[in-house]
Copies of this chain bind each other. A is one copy, B any other.
Amino acid sequence: MSEQFDAKALIDDLGTRARAAAAELAFAPAAAKEAALTAAAEAVWARRVEIMAANGEDLAYGANKGLSPAMMDRLALDEGRIKAIVEGLRAVAAQPDPVGQVISEWDRPTGLHIQRVRTPLGVIGVIYESRPNVTADAGALCLKAGNAVILRGGSESFHSSRAIHACMVEGLRAAGLPEAAIQLVPTRERAAVAEMLRAVAHIDVIVPRGGKGLVGLVQAEARVPVFAHLEGICHVYADGAADLEKARAVVLNAKTRRTGICGAMECLLIDRAFYARHGAVLVEDLVKAGVEVRTEGDLLNVVGTVPAAPEDFGREFLDMICAARIVDGVDGAIAHIRRYGSNHTESILTEDDAAAARFFQRLDSAILMRNASTQFADGGEFGMGAEIGIATGKLHARGPVGAEQLTSFKYLVTGDGTCRK
């Protein structure tokens, strides 16, 4: 089977269909896209038993393959999770359509009127791991922005993704949109991924959704541009001028609300002035909440802390673990974050406007916060309805990637027989 499998022919075929669909989608009415997503939501709910049965096949395959409990949990669908998929589809359906929006417009002395308007990007490739809901989320966001999408789910979620994809196609069909607007690579063969990464003629951008391993591989191999999410090594800095109660609340929330998301705090930086005033209360709170705090110097006096290894700074734990260190003021925090951060999300806790301004100006993370929990680093919390991922690069997309960032733009120029001198 594997020997006869022609990955290039498959991706050429999917890519050609996607390109043709994208040409149609570029001027599809907003109402048609909304109707497709609403119909897809209805189909997912109507076919939930079928989807759960397909998921059962995946779970059996996963158990057989010896997936970890965390992986099995990510893979599993129940009625609650299917309801969340349905709600996600409805939320994207209800969002404003970005295509055709006038971003800016101006007149020129020549008499020309220039508009810059949003257009779809074209064809997007999404490569993801075991979460079957990405099939619906990513498909919906790409469609909203007028893009065709080629989805390549993890081999573990093969049947679940296929069942959800069938509902998306049902939605497209109901709305009279091309079925190739949302395609799923119909094979577990890994060669298909390698072929997608090279398919510059067919795919305009690749969005990898998954762990560091997947994203690193995609970045290393891709000839197609990538919106990559690398690590979320998020820092919270408690400044000397922080409000104690706000600081305690935010630090605890940033670390413990959910530890497995990219916006979770991985390192706490405490201003020497804060420490002089309030002691190690933030670290004590974390330890009491069950967090393993890896630290150094005076902070090690807190019972329950453990000495940090050098590599614990700049590390993404994604667990009830964090690093902590005392720094000298906002400049000390900035220096630490520049050295160890991943330019994802950092928060300063302070009542001092000058310190906050310095932190905002001198750091270049995708998201900088003041007196807020890093756990807000999320497209939904930003008001984007949903996100296809969080981009840690600086080209085109940055931070939570919603429908708007899946667009490009074109200039529309109107004259009256206008010639250039």
Contacts and interface: CB of A to CB of B under 8 A. Distances in A.
* Shortest beta-carbon contacts, A-B, top 8: A246-B417, A372-B415, A253-B419, A394-B408, A396-B396, A375-B420, A369-B413, A372-B418
A364 B114 contact: no
Interface string A219-248: 000000100000000000000000101110
A77 interface: no
A420 B258 CA distance: 10
Contacts of A23: 338
Interface string A350-383: 0000001000111011111111110110000111
A91 to B, nearest CB: 14
Contact of A110 (B100, B368, B381): B381
Given A373-B419, A396-B396, 8 more contacts: A108-B381, A119-B364, A257-B420, A371-B416, A372-B415, A375-B419, A394-B408, A398-B410
A123 to B, nearest CB: 11
B383 A106 contact: yes
A368 B100 CA distance: 14
Given A419-B249, A420-B257, A360 B398 contact: no
Given A367-B410, A376-B110, A414-B369, A121 B420 contact: no
A167 to B, nearest CB: 29
Nearest to A400: B411
B122 A412 contact: no
A193 interface: no
A1 interface: no
Q: Which among A108, A365, A418 has the greatest number of chain B C-beta atoms within 10 A? A: A418
Nearest to A382: B114
A411 B367 contact: yes
B414 A366 contact: no
25 contacts: A26-B364, A27-B361, A27-B362, A100-B361, A108-B381, A108-B383, A114-B382, A114-B383, A119-B364, A121-B395, A246-B417, A250-B415, A250-B419, A252-B419, A253-B419, A360-B412, A366-B410, A367-B410, A367-B411, A368-B410, A369-B414, A395-B396, A396-B396, A398-B408, A398-B409
Contact of A372 (B27, B243, B368, B414): B414
A399 interface: yes
Contacts of A420: 253, 257, 373, 375-376, 381
Given A119-B364, A257-B420, A419-B257, A411 B394 contact: no
Interface in A90-131: 100, 106, 108, 110, 112, 114, 119, 121-122
A246 B268 CA distance: 67
Contacts of A369: 412-415
Interface string A380-413: 0111000000000011101100000000111111
Contacts of A26: 361-362, 364
Contacts of A360: 412
A359 to B, nearest CB: 10
Interface string A325-367: 0000000000000100000000000000000100011101111
A250 to B, nearest CB: 6
Contacts of A27: 361-362
